[in-house]
Amino acid sequence: MKFEKINAPKGVREYLPPESSAFEWVRSQLIAPAKLAGYKLMELPVFEDTNLFSRGVGESTDVVSKEMYTFEDRGGRSITLRPEGTAGVMRAVIEQSLDRAQLPVKVWYSGQFFRAERPQAGRFRQFYQVGIEAIGLDDPAIDAEVIAIADRGFKNLGLKNYRLEITSLGDAESRAAHRVDLLAFIKTLNLDEATSQRAGINPLRLFDDKRPEMQSAMSKAPLLLDYLSDSARNNFEKVQSYLRGMRIDFVINPRMVRGLDYYTGTTFEFIHPDLGAQSGIGGGGRYDGLMEILGGQSLSGIGFGLGVDRALLAAIAEDSLPTEEFTSDLFIIPLGENAMDSALTIAQDVRSAGITVEIAFGDRALKGAMKAADKSGARFVVVLGDSELLNGSVDLKRMSDGVVTSVKIAQLQDQMRQALSL
């Protein structure tokens, strides 16, 4: 009986060797600055109660209204695969009372996220992000640090062609004043029913409408930056001053509206023009009120999500990926059953020193095993047969120039450490 081949779901981006090493490198470089700034790992479930996102992210967003993967579990509960990271972090902080300890709560996370979007270059239904959240203090210095961590992550990748756009979505006083005039302006527009309903829930969403006719219609709409209260304006000016002090370039985009409703105050996005329509490689902002909406204290927070998939595409576009692919430090070729038993033991010992060791499996002949070692890019090779086991020593061959050194098996780890300068 012949079974039909099963393919991956549409819109899922898989990373397989050798490309997976580039993906792993990009992800680690984006996370590294957060670790250096004292952020700690938070590992969260990939599915949550649907109410977490409908209440926290916002009913007016495309994410909630069109893009969530929602299903009913066996207990009749409505469950959603996470479309973003902040709401889940906030839920965990509230549930585990992390907000009752020292503030701010500073965490980082990474993993898969899910949105039922139309797949295209740089946009997938399962995508990968790294993110951070700093929860508990409303301080423009924290805003600047969060932006700087994201900026350093992209610099770690060697990216140069991106730009940082920032704005302020103000405080409650600012948004209330702006909402009055914005709604009055929107009433003068000829909107379809769906757009009108979105505007009624959150009129700022119309700035995020990508249709040319809507962008033209909103070109003369009142801008929130012109309605900032004294407090919100001073806060935003301090953020800009801190960024200049850290020599981080930015441009102010007064029409920026992030795709999630919880954003307030400082808001930012990183754009990479080499990626075409899907040019956003990461962004975030402050979210005053989100914790309270989710049943917690009235505490502020700020964070970001950086797209690993798109950052990888940007690194490819700028040719900034490391050229060195995975290579073994040592390749062991055992000849015979006794040699295989010893090879496994030797590999275990050498690996304990942080040295990468591969073994030629499958009872290969010496010639074929040497070809495999050469193809793997191994730095050193040893052949292990009965005579080597009897003498207790092996010939360590350096593949770059063919130089051979006789080494006692018991001293192989030390010799490898010396050869690799570990």
CATH of the domain at 362: 3.40.50.800
Q: Output the pLDDT for position 270.
A: 98
- Peptide bond before residue 18 is cis, with ω within 30 degrees of 0: yes
**Whether pLDDT at 325 is above 70:** no
303 and 160, same structural domain?
yes
Confidence of residue 297 (pLDDT cuts 50, 70, 90): very high
Q: Output the pLDDT for position 63.
A: 78
Confidence of residue 324 (pLDDT cuts 50, 70, 90): low
CB 99 within 8 A of CB 136: yes
Residues 6+ apart with CB under 8 A from 327: 356, 376, 377, 378, 379
28 and 122, same structural domain?
yes
Residues 6+ apart with CB under 8 A from 320: 157, 158, 159
Confidence of residue 192 (pLDDT cuts 50, 70, 90): confident
**Whether pLDDT at 39 is above 70:** yes
Rounded mean pLDDT, 152-177: 94
* 271 found inside a domain: yes
* 406 found inside a domain: yes
> Can you give the residue range of the structural domain that contains 61?
19-171+229-317
Rounded mean pLDDT, 124-130: 95
Confidence of residue 277 (pLDDT cuts 50, 70, 90): confident
* 220 found inside a domain: no
- Which residue in 232, 240, 278, 246 sits closest to 259, CA to CA? 278
**Whether pLDDT at 287 is above 70:** yes
* 35 found inside a domain: yes
339 and 306, same structural domain?
no
Q: Output the pLDDT for position 57.
A: 82
* 31 found inside a domain: yes
391 and 305, same structural domain?
no
160 and 74, same structural domain?
yes
d(CA 406, CA 386): 16
Residues 6+ apart with CB under 8 A from 95: none
Full-model pTM: 0.89
> Which one is predicted more confidently, 297 or 367?
297
347 and 271, same structural domain?
no
> Which one is predicted more confidently, 59 or 393?
393
Domain boundary among 317, 347, 380: 317
342 and 300, same structural domain?
no
Rounded mean pLDDT, 287-304: 92
Confidence of residue 261 (pLDDT cuts 50, 70, 90): low
CB 157 within 8 A of CB 311: yes
* 221 found inside a domain: no
Q: Which of 14-18, 161-165, 382-386 has the largest mean confidence?
A: 161-165
pLDDT tens-digit profile of 380-411? 999 999 999 999 999 999 988 999 999 999 99
Confidence of residue 107 (pLDDT cuts 50, 70, 90): very high
**Whether pLDDT at 206 is above 90:** no
245 and 103, same structural domain?
yes
Q: Which two tokens stand for residue 378?
A: 């191994």
d(CA 386, CA 369): 17
Domain boundary among 265, 285, 317: 317
* 324 found inside a domain: no
367 and 259, same structural domain?
no
What's the full length of the chain, in residues? Answer: 422
* 13 found inside a domain: no
233 and 373, same structural domain?
no
**Whether pLDDT at 65 is above 80:** no
Task: Work out how many domains the chain is built from and give that number.
Answer: 2
Rounded mean pLDDT, 72-94: 95
Q: Which two tokens stand for residue 198?
A: 């979105």
Q: Output the pLDDT for position 260.
A: 61
Q: Is the Cα dihedral 381, 386, 391, 392 positive or negative? A: positive
| Mean confidence (pLDDT) of the chain | 91
Q: What pairing do the DSSP bridges indicate for beta strands 105-114 and 40-41?
A: parallel
Confidence of residue 137 (pLDDT cuts 50, 70, 90): very high
Poorest-confidence range of 115-119, 135-139, 177-181? 115-119
Rounded mean pLDDT, 197-216: 82
For the chain, give the percent of residues with pLDDT over 70. Answer: 98
57 and 86, same structural domain?
yes
354 and 251, same structural domain?
no
The domain that holds 30 is classified in CATH as 3.30.930.10
Domain boundary among 289, 317, 345: 317
d(CA 128, CA 312): 11
